[in-house]
Amino acid sequence: MELMCLVGTVLSFGAMVMEPLRDSLVFLLLWIFYLSLYQVGQVFLYFQWDSLLLETGFLTFLVAPFHLLKWRSISRPHDGVTFWLVRWLLFRLMFASGVVKLTSRCPTWWGLTALTYHYETQCIPTPTAWFAHQLPVWFQKISVVITYIVEIGVPFLFFSPIRHLRLFAFYTQVLLQVLIIITGNYNFFNLLTIALCISLLDDEHVNFWLRRSKKKSSGSWNRTLLSFLTVLLELAVYALLIYWSVHYFGLNINWEKQLIESKPSFTYHEFIQWLKIVTLPTVWIGAASLAWEILFSMYRSACIRGILQKFWATLQWAVFSTAAVGMFTISLVPYTYIEFETNGNLWPAVHNMHNAVDKYQLVNSYGLFRRMTGVGGRPEVVVEASYDQKSWTEIEFMYKPGNLSNMSPVVAPHQPRLDWQMWFAALDHHTQSPWFTSFIYRLLQGKKEVINLVQVDESRYPFHAKPPVYIRAQLFKYWFTEVNENGELPQHWWRRQHVKEFYPTVTLGDPHLETLLSQFGLKDKGFLLRSTDAPLPFTLTFLRDCLQPYAAPSVLFSLFIAGVVICLLKALKDRTPVNAAGKQKGTRTRRADSGEPRPGSLGEKNGQTKKEEKPVNVAESLELKAKPVPEAAGDGPRIRKKKADKN
């Protein structure tokens, strides 16, 4: 497992800084590595973003070029077909995430008060989440309404033929993800979603970012008329979004209280009925959009010159179009989970196809933040240890809330899996989280690998010298503190209240602990000892020892910053030869126009050295520097004649 993680890290970093490694085979290997880890990671990797990464990784295998033996990627006629699958994945992700908030019947989502609890109850808040929690309730409600618009209404614009509507959808989605990044540590999920949003862009807009946009020539009257009609259609779409938002969420400005009031003006059954009407048409919209991409790619393949080149392009188009249709077909099963009647009306063959490949995580269902937990207070498990059962010491984790005065850290895009599972364990009885018993058992044993998941810095772990004898866990409820009446910030970030005992006091050899270990199959088993003197185990041990003193976010950010620096240096290096060539070319032109012999020219061969050259006229030199010489043929002699007359 360590070797797979290490090879995957090296390949990913290499693909970031080297274009030849951005190859379909490399991404296929990365997908196989992550799928292998996913299969054995159990609850620690059973998150929706892990499924999203696997589905995106397989699509990357289809989208990326096969140029492992080449040094430059070239566009292919079928690129639009495979890239469309990324847009379809983005639509399924965002639309389902918005719909499930209402189909879950969660009272906070229906009451538009979800964000008044979200910031303090999420797994690992950021420091900004504390300030976001202090915002007024009416603003939090408006934020929920905007979330519904962005996740339910805007995704329909992903397939719009009008590019400005797609660009509008792109920026709204990216803005939502950036706000989530600022207020919560959701690892790589938000960055991955932003990467999927790139499928909404076109080359023209990317070139605009890179300052490579070309000036558009003035079009004919019919093109101007088409542009005018397009603008009117865009304005109509924006007006409809605003009207539906105001109408269905009862937006009203209360001038007396200086706030915006909002309340859903539709019922749960009305929403379910709307969902039944909309789900099947979205499938047909997706099918029509994919068909257009396939036909356009076929046309591009037919326009290629050369019989062999045309045959090869058509063959690739046929293969990847078939793959795209297959991916779209099996994705309909998890997509229609949002509306079971539509899911049941799918052809049995579609369900059979999906069941055949379900274990490979090629397509998945999504629905983030379905229900808001911790409405009555954030449940948090606090682990305590002791040597004598009289004085108990809290074991603080690196990332999850514990100490009331500790500020929440910024750890994204890293996900501390143990800290996340501690949040889920607090939501139910400890027997529903068998791994927690194993965690307590390893702390009693003093396992260094497990202790490093709690604290990398041994000085911050109170039992680093000697393992504790007794361990227990208490359940608390946490809340964010409020701003003081005088407007000053409080001394603590959190306040808490004890609820009950979460895990009883246990020690090594305790009958209760032994029973739980046997019940969950967590008893120590004999392991096959392998020699650590071989090159591979020795290298892995050496790297582990080198990286152990550093926290995972520090290692991740270091790799990312190093990759960015390498890419910037490569970009500067690629630009330097072009500028140098331009200067050299300009120098040769000026010498040709002024009649001076170039180095190595016929003048030097005839014995004219630098010392024998005539002194340069100062006025002529200044005039040459002040007035650039045209490079057009025939301009040089006339200009030199005028300059000679002036001299």
Condensed to tens digits (0 to 9), the pLDDT of residues 402-422 reads: 999 988 899 999 999 999 999
pLDDT at 472: 97
How large is the average pLDDT for residues 602-614? 40
Q: Residue 335's pLDDT is what?
A: 96
Structure tokens at 498: 């004890």
pLDDT of residue 215: 62
Q: How confident is the model at residue 600 (pLDDT cuts 50, 70, 90)?
A: very low
User: Is the pLDDT reported for residue 207 higher than 90?
Assistant: no
Instruction: For residues 184-188, give the mean pLDDT.
Output: 94
The yes-or-no verdict on residue 27 having pLDDT over 70 is: yes
- CA separation (Å) from 280 to 286, 342, 367? 10, 7, 18
Q: Which of 434, 514, 430 is nearest to 472 (CA)?
A: 430
- Between 504 and 614, the higher pLDDT residue: 504
Kindly tell me if the per-residue pLDDT of 69 is higher than 90: no
Question: Of 295-304, 437-446, 608-617, where does mean pLDDT reach its minimum?
Answer: 608-617
- Alpha helices for 508-551 (secondary structure H): 511-519, 535-547
Nearest Cα to Cα of residue 445 among 472, 471, 418, 474: 471
Sequence-separated (6 or more) residues with CB below 8 Å from residue 176: 147, 150, 151
**Residue 596 pLDDT exceeds 70:** no
pLDDT bracket for residue 629 (50, 70, 90): very low
Give the C-alpha separation, 255 to 262, whole Å: 14
Residue 453, both tokens: 């998941």
Integer-rounded Cα radius of gyration of the chain: 32
Average pLDDT over every residue of 305-328: 92
What are the tens digits of pLDDT across the range 274-285? 999 999 999 999
For residue 637, pLDDT beyond 50: no
* pLDDT classification of 527: cutoffs 50, 70, 90: low
Whether 193 contacts 178, CB under 8 Å: no
Per residue in 136-170, pLDDT (tens digit) is: 999 999 999 999 999 999 999 999 999 999 999 99
The HSE-up count of residue 635 (CA atoms within 13 Å, CB side) is 8
Terminal C-alpha separation, the chain = 82
Do the beta carbons of residue 484 and residue 451 sit within 8 Å? no
Is 493:404 a contact under the CB 8 Å cutoff?
A: yes
Hey, what's the torsion of the CAs at 180, 183, 188, 189, to 10 degrees?
A: -30
Tell me which residue of 641, 618, 629, 633 sits closest to 587, measured CA to CA: 629
Local confidence band at 253 (pLDDT 50, 70, 90 cut-offs): confident
DSSP-derived letter for residue 153 is I
pLDDT-wise least confident of 325-339, 498-512, 561-575: 561-575
Instruction: Say if residues 149 and 91 touch (Cβ distance below 8 Å).
Output: no
Q: What is the mean pLDDT of the chain?
A: 86
What's this model's pTM, rounded to 2 decimal places? 0.85
Instruction: Give the C-alpha separation, 392 to 261, whole Å.
Output: 49
CB 513 within 8 A of CB 507: yes
Span of 95-104, 506-515, 530-539 with lowest mean pLDDT: 530-539
The C-alpha atoms of residue 286 and residue 322 are separated, in whole angstroms, by: 16
Tracing tokens 């538009």 back to the chain, one arrives at 112
- Residue for token pair 């979603």: 193
Nearest to 293 by CA among 608, 562, 78, 46: 78
Q: Which sequence spans correspond to the domains of the chain?
A: 77-213+225-360, 378-525
Between 644 and 449, where is the model more confident?
449
pLDDT confidence of residue 257: 81
Which of 513, 28, 410 has the alpha carbon at shortest distance from 183? 410
Does the structure show a pLDDT above 60 at 615? Answer: no
